[in-house]
Structure 1
Amino acid sequence: MLQCDPDWAPSLHLGHTEVKATTTDRFKRLRRRQQQQQQQQQQQTQPQPQQAPEPDHTSPEAELDNAAPLFPAPDNPGTEEYMESETSGEGAVMGNADEQCTMCGLRLQEIMRLQEENQKLKEELSKRALDENSLKDNDSKVKYYTGLPSFSLLMGVLMQIIPSLPTSKERKLSHFQMLLLTLMRLRLDLPVEHVAHLFDISRQTASNVFIETINVLHAHLSPLVYWPKRLCIQASMPHQYVEMFGNRVTVIIDCFELFIERAQNLRAKAQTYSNYKSRYTMKYLIGITPQGTISFISKGWGGRASDKQVTENSGFIQMLSPGDVVLADRGFDIKESVALVGATLKTPAFTRGHSQLNAQDVEETRKLAHVRIHVERVIGCMRSKFNILNDTIRLGFVVPCEGEEKTLLDKIVVVCCALTNMCPSIVVKPSC
């Protein structure tokens, strides 16, 4: 048999005998429509001369069969389901377009809402951050963190010291933040660890920034603590001084002490122990003008030193001129030293063995105490503005800086005095 031949291949009963007539007719119509569509495209690209229309003798059924499809047919013939889906696609597209418009509107609203929320969060974050934007237009906040009365004054200090501040790309702090960090430590007496967390820096960086900025502030602001000329003092002297002592009062002096840690060295321990405070202290001589500005501040002395020793060895006597009047407390036994330069010392009267003072001494002592209280008010104002002066100072601050005679504590005190002079005076002039 042929089936046993190795080249034989089956050709009958392969499953293609059942061919539906409708499928064949549909395929023919599809090919006819494709041909008509190609002819129409060729006619559009190559225009032909107009001819008279020929009468159409085709039947209505043939016209329906020969009509162009509403939607372009694919290259490959599809199934019946594909054609039905193509015919119903227009309504689906219109519905999807409406849904897409609605979704676009909702997405646009959501984007606008997120942008507004993002802007609000940025503004809140900038207010909480310790930079220019957080303190701008908020003088009460500036006064709390720095002790200065206004933001404009703070920016003035910054503009003055910017050329001397160190610049480094590795540091995260700006010049403003370096100044703010230093003033916050002076004002609030914040620990280094706390300041480091506030500014997101290391503890060592916070300590270095504080020391460097104090050195720069001392170099630029120390001229604010100056000894004015006599004519300037007399031109702005309050009337209460003129009525009591004339116009020759030049300075009011007093000493204040700052607590320090106990030293390990026996000699340093003995020099810094104050019998008056019963603690280890550093003593400073301060002088103010009748207007209430600080005109003199000495370097730090051990708490054991007397007021007379500090006054005579701090350079204060050399600042006096003949005819000046100095107001001081009873502890300042410097009448002879002041007289050597032609000045006069006014102190409260002593009983000197008597049971009580006479009427004239009582009246003079009352007048002197009434005006001498201003120096204590200035000291109290400075210590209330800068709480670092009220805390116990660590020993590292009282060691002289490398290559200098002044200690870091001396520079801190001078900076605090200069910043106090930048604030309004507490000595209020009586109305004329």
Structure 2
Amino acid sequence: MVHTCVVVGCRNRRTPGTTLSFYRFPRDPERKQRWIAAVNREGWQPNEGSRLCSTHFISKQVKNPRSPDYVPSVFRTSSMTGTPDQTGAFDFSDKQQAQVEAANALLFLQGQALEMGSQPGHYLEHDGAESVASASSGSAINVPMRSRDIVTPAESPPSSDGDEMSSVNDAIDYEEEVERLRRENRALRELAERASLTEASLRNDPVKVRFYTGLPSYFVLETILWLLSPRMRADKTVKLSRFQQLLITLMRLRLDLRNQDLAYRFGVQVGIVAQTVRSVVDAMSSTLVPTAVFWPSREELRRNLPTAIQSACPDCVAIVDCFTVALEGSSESGVIGGALKYLIGVAPQGVVTFVSRGSPGHVSDRELVENCGFLAKLLPGDVVLAGRNLDADEAVAARGAQIRIANSRGDVGGEGEERAVLRRHVERVIAMVKRRYAMLNGLVENTFDMNTFDRIVRVACALNNLCISATPLE
């Protein structure tokens, strides 16, 4: 199909061999109206076949609203209110004047233009044999010059006060300036990338991955995303990608950032952050927790006991402790005293094997141990280590097991350096999970109900088990 430019007086057509481009009118209503206004044909509206050629743009049409080529701007100055059949070519004198102005503009851009004299002829003596190629043709401007074409400062007439005109402006090295701007642009892009929280920025920065997520590597983060993707929404109604949804949730657990902070970082509303965290926690609770938090067999436990445990307590199956998470108020959770209490069981190797449901903060350690289901995991002959007295000796003994306390003097039934090593090991294992995920410490922003927060604690324990253990096998 042959297209003809719709601009009045422009006879450019799409023909074989032409280097011109022909553009459709934009679909965006506001930009389309600006194009129609630039064409300046009274009462005219474009149709599907209407085209505008590339000679009416400085370079080519672009979609960046900040670019001068977002809207056509190159038109001749005479009236365009007529129709193509009623208009002819430029008047010769107008064309000649336009060529002279174009040549002078080029000289100025090249840093060679002089101070303009009182007459146009002070710049160029222009005749038909030395005419400049028409700017509207789309070709480069070629300006043949002779020594008499340019008036030097010495030849310029003196001003009325007798002072000579200023000297020629120093030429600007545009290539060097462009290269400098390119380097600056690259540096700014790299700075923005390092400060961002995109997939690319985390993929190339393992330290950032560990800081924001608590996970050991981007590979582990990517694997979790792959596992959760079928259970996460990512349609047009969701403003956050699957990666952003997972990252927000991990940052909430890892750093205990407030919802408003995360909303600012990701450019969404506070309610979307809270909803996203609930949704992703639910997905991780059903996907990760059953496979990552489980009670291992006795053979596996004994086969992988750390050196600190093997000689001092070879029958140890778990190290237990109770911890309390304080909440801001209790309106939504219905928790008395604004706190939840949990019992956590950790294998001697540092892997979480048991975590109870939350109980009101005023519940005693003994009540929690007896009612949380932990005792059902024990077999006769098992030994449970604790960093402090939980007052649960009788309940554990009823299962044929034994609870032993590594107290501050470092003795578990005796004195010695071996007992002190055991005590330090117990303290390190207990502190591991809470240190890795700050949401399990301090005062937590209360935007969750009790069941959701229980899932959050279990998810934090599952994520801990995906990390490198604080007590590697020896």
TM-score tier (shorter): 0.5 to 0.7
What do residues 116-172 of structure 1 show as CA deviations (whole Å, max 9, x unaligned)?
A: 655554444333332101212211111111111211111111111111112221333
Which residue is 1:94 aligned to?
144
Give me the whole-angstrom Cα distance separating, in 1, the residues matched to 2:352 and 2:457: 12
Kindly state the Cα deviation for residue 370 of structure 1 after the two structures are TM-superposed. Answer: 4.1
1:313-332 correspondence runs (5 A): 313-329=371-387, 331-332=389-390
1:228 has 2:296 as partner: yes
Which residue is 2:459 aligned to?
415
Give me the whole-angstrom Cα distance separating, in 1, the residues matched to 2:128 and 2:384: 110
What do residues 27-47 of structure 1 show as CA deviations (whole Å, max 9, x unaligned)?
A: xxxxxxxxxxxxxxxxxxxxx
CA change 1:391–1:119 in 2 (3 A) is same
Over alpha carbons, which structure has the higher Rg?
A: 1
CA change 1:127–1:240 in 2 (3 A) is closer
1:308 has 2:349 as partner: no
- Return the letter of the residue paired with 1:413: V
Which residue is 2:153 aligned to?
none
Give me the whole-angstrom Cα distance separating, in 2, the residues matched to 1:325 and 1:361: 13
Listed as ranges, the gaps of 5+ residues in structure 1 are 1-73, 75-83, 100-104, 274-279, 350-356, 401-406
Listed as ranges, the gaps of 5+ residues in structure 2 are 1-91, 93-124, 133-141, 151-171
Kindly state the Cα deviation for residue 264 of structure 1 after the two structures are TM-superposed. Answer: 6.6
1:224-263 correspondence runs (5 A): 224-245=292-313, 247-263=314-330
Give me the whole-angstrom Cα distance separating, in 1, the residues matched to 2:276 and 2:329: 26
Which residue is 2:122 aligned to?
none
1:374 has 2:415 as partner: no
- Return the letter of the residue paired with 1:168: D
Which residue is 1:363 aligned to?
415
Which residue is 1:130 aligned to?
197
Pick one of 337, 340, 352 that aligns with 2:395: 337
Aligned partners of 1:307 and 1:332 also within 8 Å: yes
Kindly state the Cα deviation for residue 382 of structure 1 after the two structures are TM-superposed. Answer: 2.2
Which residue is 1:386 aligned to?
437
Kindly state the Cα deviation for residue 298 of structure 1 after the two structures are TM-superposed. Answer: 0.6
CA change 1:122–1:310 in 2 (3 A) is same
CA change 1:201–1:291 in 2 (3 A) is same
- Return the letter of the residue paired with 1:138: D
Pick one of 173, 179, 191 that aligns with 2:246: 179
Give me the whole-angstrom Cα distance separating, in 2, the residues matched to 1:415 and 1:90: 78
Aligned partners of 2:304 and 2:473 also within 8 Å: no
Aligned partners of 1:347 and 1:368 also within 8 Å: no
Which residue is 1:80 aligned to?
none
Which residue is 1:78 aligned to?
none
CA change 1:207–1:420 in 2 (3 A) is same
Kindly state the Cα deviation for residue 197 of structure 1 after the two structures are TM-superposed. Answer: 0.9
Give me the whole-angstrom Cα distance separating, in 1, the residues matched to 2:173 and 2:239: 41
Aligned partners of 1:308 and 1:331 also within 8 Å: no
Kindly state the Cα deviation for residue 377 of structure 1 after the two structures are TM-superposed. Answer: 2.1
Query: Taking structure 1 as the reference length, what is the TM-score of the superposition?
Result: 0.64
What do residues 333-384 of structure 1 show as CA deviations (whole Å, max 9, x unaligned)?
A: 33333333332332469xxxxxxx9x994428x8556425434323423222
1:298 has 2:342 as partner: no
- Return the letter of the residue paired with 2:252: R
CA change 1:149–1:86 in 2 (3 A) is same
Kindly state the Cα deviation for residue 175 of structure 1 after the two structures are TM-superposed. Answer: 0.9
Answer 1 or 2: which has greater helix percent.
1
1:156-167 correspondence runs (5 A): 156-167=223-234
CA change 1:108–1:263 in 2 (3 A) is closer
Identity of aligned residues (%): 35
Kindly state the Cα deviation for residue 321 of structure 1 after the two structures are TM-superposed. Answer: 2.1
Which residue is 1:140 aligned to?
207
Give me the whole-angstrom Cα distance separating, in 2, the residues matched to 1:169 and 1:302: 41
RMSD between aligned residues: 3.5
Query: Taking structure 2 as the reference length, what is the TM-score of the superposition?
Result: 0.59
Give me the whole-angstrom Cα distance separating, in 2, the residues matched to 1:420 and 1:294: 8
1:346 has 2:404 as partner: yes
CA change 1:369–1:295 in 2 (3 A) is farther
Aligned partners of 2:387 and 2:426 also within 8 Å: no
Which residue is 1:276 aligned to?
none
Give me the whole-angstrom Cα distance separating, in 2, the residues matched to 1:144 and 1:233: 30
CA change 1:362–1:118 in 2 (3 A) is closer
Which residue is 1:194 aligned to?
261
Give me the whole-angstrom Cα distance separating, in 2, the residues matched to 1:147 and 1:330: 27
Aligned partners of 2:412 and 2:419 also within 8 Å: no
Q: Considering Cα pairs closer than 8 Å and 6+ residues apart, tell me whether 1 or 2 has the greater RCO.
A: 1
CA change 1:347–1:122 in 2 (3 A) is closer
Pick one of 281, 290, 300 that aligns with 2:339: 281
Kindly state the Cα deviation for residue 311 of structure 1 after the two structures are TM-superposed. Answer: 0.9
* Secondary structure in 2 matching 1:244: coil
Aligned partners of 1:286 and 1:298 also within 8 Å: yes
CA change 1:149–1:237 in 2 (3 A) is same
CA change 1:115–1:250 in 2 (3 A) is same
Kindly state the Cα deviation for residue 419 of structure 1 after the two structures are TM-superposed. Answer: 1.6
CA change 1:152–1:88 in 2 (3 A) is same
CA change 1:413–1:211 in 2 (3 A) is same
